[in-house]
Structure 1
Amino acid sequence: MNCWLEKPGSTRPGRRGRSLVRILACGALIALLLSACAAPAGTQPAANAQQTAPGETGKPTRTPFPTRRPPAGTRTPTVDPSAQPTEGATQVAGTGTPGAPASGTAAAGAVTLTFGGALNVRRGPGLAYDTVAAFETGQTVAAKAQDGKGEWLQVEVPNSTGVFGWVYSKAPTVNVSGDPLSLPDATFTDAVPAYVRNCTSHQISLRPGEIVLEPLAQQPANRQQVNPGFYEVVDLTLNAASVTTMSVTEGSELIVTQDGNGVNYTCPR
C-alpha cells in the first residue's frame, strides 16, 4: 500500500524518511477506519435502549424516583404499638374502625354520670350504707372507681371537695357514659347493720319496702334488719293506719312503741 500523498512541486524526502512517514500515515489511517466501522463491545444503538420481557406489553419501564432520606439531624417518627389494632380486634358495626371500643364504653377515668333525677349518694356501695348527700337533676360527675361489678360507682360528693361516696349506676335516673368496668376497684368497709323492733301488740309495717314487723308476742319476728333511710310506720291491724315516721341510720336499732290507736307500750330489755 502506498499511503504517501504527494503535492505537485513538493520535494520528496529521502528513502529512509519516506519509509518512516509512510508507516506513520498508514497507521493513522487504519485506526480511523476501524473506529468508524465498528462500535465498542457492550454498547447498543440508542433506538434499541428499551427492551421488553416476554409477555409484557412493550410499554417503556419507568425509572423509579430515588428514595428521599430525611435531612441530617431529624428522626423518623415511630408508631406507638398500643395504638394499633391487634390480631382479633373487634370492629364496631357501621364505623369501619378496627379495634374501636364498643358503644358506650370509655377508657379508665373517662366514665361520667348524668342525673335525670335526684339520687342519693351513700357511704358505701349498697343500700345498707348511710346516705351522705344527693345529686340533683341535670348534674354530672366523673366516676373514680367501682365496686368490682360495675354497679356501684365511687364519685366525689357534690359540694364536698375531696369527699367521696357511692351511687347506683343502674338507677333509671342515671345516664352512664363509658364502661364502669374499666375503672379501678375500690376498697370499702362493710356496712353496720340497722334494725327496727316492734314492741306493740299490733302487726306493724314499714314503708317503702313493706317490711312487716310481727307483734311483740311473736318475737323474734318482731325485729327486722332494714336499710338506712326514712320510713313511714303503719298499723296493719288497723287497716294500715299511719302511726309515725322514722329515720334509720347505720348501726341504730329503733323501737316502735305506739300503735295506730295511739296506745303506748313498754319494750322489754
Structure 2
Amino acid sequence: MAAISSRAAQAATFRLVMWGFTLMTVFPFGLLLLTSLKSKQDLFRGAFVLPDRPHFENYVSAWVDGHFGVYFWNSVIVVIPVVGIGVLLGLLTGFAFAFLSFPFKKTLFVMLTLGMMVPGEAYIIPLYYEMRWLGLLNTYAALILPQIAMSVPFATLFMASAMQQLPRDILEAARIDGAPRGMILRKVILPLMGPAISSLGLFLFIWTWNEFLIPLVLVNDDALRTMPLGMLFFQGRYTVNIPVLTAGAVIVIFPIIIVYLIFQRKFIEGLTAGASK
C-alpha cells in the first residue's frame, strides 16, 4: 500500500509540474490574444482587465492597413514549395543514405551534418551576391530556393534515421520478391513513413514560416515580404497602437498553432517511433 501511495504521489507531482509548464507556455499567448481584442482605453485599465467588447477591428486594421493580407499570402506561396520539395528530397536522399551504397557516402553524410551547423549569417552575404548575379533579388525564387537548399541537410538526416528504424524483415521480403528500388520506396517504405513525414513537414513549415534573415536581405519590395519581415516594419508604424500591433502578432503566430494542432498526433508518433522498438 505504501508503494502504491508513493507512486500515486509521484504521478500527482508530475502532473502538477506538467500543468505548471503548460500554463507558463499558454499564458503569454493568452495575454497577447487578450490585448489584441482591447482598445487603447482598455489598456489603461490594466493588462488583465477584460474589454467591454472584443475589438475585432484591430485585426481588420492589421490585415488591411498593415498589409498582413499581402504578407500572409506571400508566406503561403513560399512555405508550400519549400515544405513540399523539402520533404520529397528528404525522402529520396534519406532512402539513398539509409539503404544504398555509393562512393563517398560517409563524406557526403559528414558534409550534410556540417551544413546544419553553419549559421545563416555565415553565408547570407555570398548568397546575396549569388542571387544578384542570377537576377533573382526581389523575387519569390530568392525566398524559395535558398530555403529549400537549407532544408535538405536536416530532411536527409531525419528521413534516413527514420527509415533505418523500419522493420528489416519487410524490406528484405520486398527485395527477395524482386521489387525494384522505386517500388520499394513507394509501396513499402512510404506507407510506413506517415508520422515521420508529418513531423518533418511540421518542422520545415515552422522554420520556413518564421524565417527572417533571408527575406530581410534578399527582398526589399513590400509586395514580396513575408509575415515575420512584415511584422518588423508593421511594428515601426504601429508602436503606439499596442492592440493593433498585438493583433498583427497573433496573425503571425496563429497559422503555426493551427498546423501544429492538426498534425499533433502524427508529430508525436514520428518523434517517439524509435523509442517503441
TM-score, normalised via structure 2 length: 0.18
Larger radius of gyration: 1
Instruction: Judging by fraction of residues, say which structure has more strand.
Output: 1
TM-score (norm 1): 0.19
